[in-house]
């Protein structure tokens, strides 16, 4: 036997899993009208007693007031499905019509019969499952018009998928992959200017899924859960994913353009993009009130404040993502409504991205591997520095500075002779290195070989005549 709870729970299932919104509730008629504007589809849930005359009246009411309904909903409705929850079955075929518009009646005596009209496996299970919720639990959610609150209980598979993939990658990186050194973090897919300009463009996306600290992961996944659900419920799963990745991409492009000497990981830029998208959606739709704005501001402020206290926060990615999310929404909005503005905005966007890409390649790229090695050397972690040098050389990222640092490590750990041999090996690969010629001049002078020292310092002076250190050493050797 179907009761009032079943009536509200059925309506709630359509709202949560199928993207419908409640647009009308008539207490006297015991009916709820739900609409899916994308599908141009209206679903009506009714409950109570009926007569053949009352059912005919319901049908005629729809057919005779079609223009008013379309105007009220701001869409051209293509189909109506009326689910009548009643103990007494009726002949549906005599009521259904195809012209001038499709109207179908469904006689529902129990939830099993209603379940036959559902293809979504999770929704089917939810409808059949016995729960302890009161009738008001479902009623309040059906009648709730707040986009923030509605978004939080709408089923959002894309958001859950992103969270699941990100958490699985964290588990893999934390327990099954090397992740203790910066070089190992780079190998996992972190964003680094040096690697991207050498062709690793995949890092613009891969870095979004990396979180090494549990605090970082929890903060971002909590934020993704909130803002991802809101944006996905407001748009669609595919659009939410598009906004997410475009925001992260723009945030990372901006990072590469203005931050060339550090690593960047995490989904913060993409998540701030969801926040920017949500703000843009609310501004365009005008479907908000003070409560909605307050809820959104509180969530944004909490997210921003917590982010400030996290280590190595990438503010540039946050700002870039925020702008990217808003941009994605306005591009979609203008494409459907103002084509000229769309082409203007997309042209400006492409131009700015091209300028940023040019800046990325024009900015001198610091070899981040050398920076990491130097950091370990400053801490006197020479064994770790030596391991990183070997990794850098094996990955073909070594340059003349790498061999210079390698020699310095050998001088500290082994002998000057081995250091000189390493620098000579480096000069075989980088004969025009000022740094290696200079250090070879100093080393040979310390050994008393002035002739060889002068050979190296003259080469260094030829390569860099304005280098003060080179000029001073050359003058000392030739006096």
Which positions are annotated as active-site residues? 268, 318
User: What letter would DSSP give residue 432?
Assistant: T
Query: 3-state class of 92 per DSSP?
Result: coil
Whole-number Å distance between alpha carbons of 179 and 265? 13
User: What letter would DSSP give residue 365?
Assistant: P
Burial 132-170 (b: 16+ CB within 10 A, else e): eeeeeebbebbeeeebbbbbbebbbebbeebbeebeebb
- Which pair of structure tokens corresponds to residue 69? 């309904």
Whole-number Å distance between alpha carbons of 240 and 307? 22
Residue found by looking up tokens 């002739």 in the block: 451
Whole-number Å distance between alpha carbons of 189 and 183? 10
Whole-number Å distance between alpha carbons of 282 and 317? 23
Whole-number Å distance between alpha carbons of 300 and 311? 19
| Cβ partners under 8 Å of residue 235, min gap 6 | 243, 281
Pairing of strands 21-26, 31-36: antiparallel
Contact yes or no for 244/273 (Cβ under 8 A): yes
- Which pair of structure tokens corresponds to residue 173? 């990186």
Contacts 24+ apart (CB under 8 A), 455-462: 460/434
Whole-number Å distance between alpha carbons of 371 and 378? 11
For the beta carbon of residue 317, count every other beta carbon within 10 angstroms: 31
Q: State phi, psi for 43 to the nearest 5 degrees.
A: -115, 130
Contact yes or no for 334/285 (Cβ under 8 A): no
Contact yes or no for 290/239 (Cβ under 8 A): no
Residue found by looking up tokens 């006297």 in the block: 28
The neighbouring-strand residues paired with 106 are 83
Whole-number Å distance between alpha carbons of 321 and 326? 9
């Amino acid at each position: 036997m179907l009761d009032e709870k079943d009536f509200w729970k059925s309506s709630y299932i359509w709202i949560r899993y199928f993207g419908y919104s409640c647009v009308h509730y008539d207490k006297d008629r015991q009916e709820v009208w739900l609409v899916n504007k994308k599908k141009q589809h209206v679903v009506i849930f009714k409950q109570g007693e009926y007569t053949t005359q009352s059912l005919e009246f319901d049908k005629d009411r729809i057919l005779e007031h079609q223009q008013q309904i379309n105007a009220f909903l701001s869409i051209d409705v293509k189909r109506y499905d009326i689910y009548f929850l009643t103990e007494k079955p009726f002949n549906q075929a005599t009521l259904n019509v195809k012209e001038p518009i499709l109207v179908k009646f469904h006689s529902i005596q129990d939830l099993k019969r209603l379940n036959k009209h559902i293809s979504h496996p999770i929704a089917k299970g939810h409808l059949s499952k016995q729960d302890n919720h009161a009738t008001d639990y479902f009623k309040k959610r059906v009648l709730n018009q707040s986009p923030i609150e509605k978004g939080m209980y709408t089923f959002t598979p894309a958001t859950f998928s992103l969270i699941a993939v990100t958490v699985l990658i964290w588990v893999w990186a934390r327990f099954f992959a090397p992740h203790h050194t910066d070089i190992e973090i780079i190998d996992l897919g972190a964003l680094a200017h040096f690697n991207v300009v050498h062709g690793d463009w995949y890092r613009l996306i891969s870095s979004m899924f990396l979180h090494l600290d549990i605090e970082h992961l929890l903060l971002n996944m909590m934020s993704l859960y909130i803002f991802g659900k809101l944006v996905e419920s407001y748009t669609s799963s595919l659009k939410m994913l598009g906004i997410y990745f475009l925001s992260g991409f723009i945030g990372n492009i901006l990072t590469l353009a203005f931050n060339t000497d550090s690593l960047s990981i995490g989904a913060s830029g993409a998540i701030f993009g969801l926040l920017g998208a949500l703000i843009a959606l609310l501004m365009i739709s005008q479907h908000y009130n003070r409560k909605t704005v307050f809820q959104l501001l509180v969530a944004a402020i909490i997210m921003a404040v917590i982010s400030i206290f996290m280590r190595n926060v990438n503010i540039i990615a946050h700002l870039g993502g925020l702008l990217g999310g808003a941009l994605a929404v306005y591009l979609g909005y203008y494409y459907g409504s103002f084509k000229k503005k769309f082409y203007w905005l997309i042209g400006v966007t492409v131009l700015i991205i091209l300028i940023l890409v040019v800046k990325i390649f024009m900015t001198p790229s610091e070899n981040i591997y050398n920076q990491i090695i130097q950091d370990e050397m400053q801490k006197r972690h020479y064994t770790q520095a030596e391991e990183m040098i070997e990794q850098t050389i094996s990955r073909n990222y070594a340059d003349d500075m790498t061999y210079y640092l390698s020699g310095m490590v050998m001088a500290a750990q082994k002998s000057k002779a081995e250091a000189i041999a390493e620098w000579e090996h480096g000069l075989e690969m980088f004969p025009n290195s000022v740094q290696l010629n200079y250090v070879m001049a100093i080393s040979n002078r310390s050994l008393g070989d002035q002739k060889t020292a002068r050979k190296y310092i003259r080469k260094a002076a030829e390569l860099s005549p304005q280098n003060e250190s080179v000029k001073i050493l050359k003058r000392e050797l030739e006096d």
